[in-house]
Amino acid sequence: MGEYKATFEIESKTDAHAVERVLTRLYDSLREEARTVGEGTTDSTEMLEQFATVRDAAQEPMPGTLTVIFEQDDDPFEE
């Protein structure tokens, strides 16, 4: 399994607003995907709630750190 990690230090209001925009776009994209693929499923609802919590936390500009971890499985998608 491959793991990729990126960290962004939030050191200014400009940084905080950039993080807010990224998280809002991510949430909107995931919400749209859940709507078309898994609408109403427990998994999609829980996932959206978790991302909404992170997105909402970024609404007030504060110093901090945004860390993104992407874990990639070794096996391809089943067709």
Q: Are 73 and 1 in contact (CB under 8 A)?
A: yes
For residue 40, the model assigns a pLDDT of 58
Other beta carbons less than 10 A from residue 19's beta carbon: 19
pLDDT digits (tens, 9 = 90+) for 6-58: 999 999 999 999 999 999 999 999 999 888 876 556 678 888 999 999 999 99
For residue 39, the model assigns a pLDDT of 58
Q: Which sequence spans correspond to the domains of the chain?
A: 2-71
For residue 45, the model assigns a pLDDT of 86
For residue 38, the model assigns a pLDDT of 60
Calpha distance 49→20 (Å, rounded): 16
The residues, any chain, with a CB within 8 Å of residue 1's CB and separated by 6 or more, are 71, 72, 73, 74
For residue 57, the model assigns a pLDDT of 95
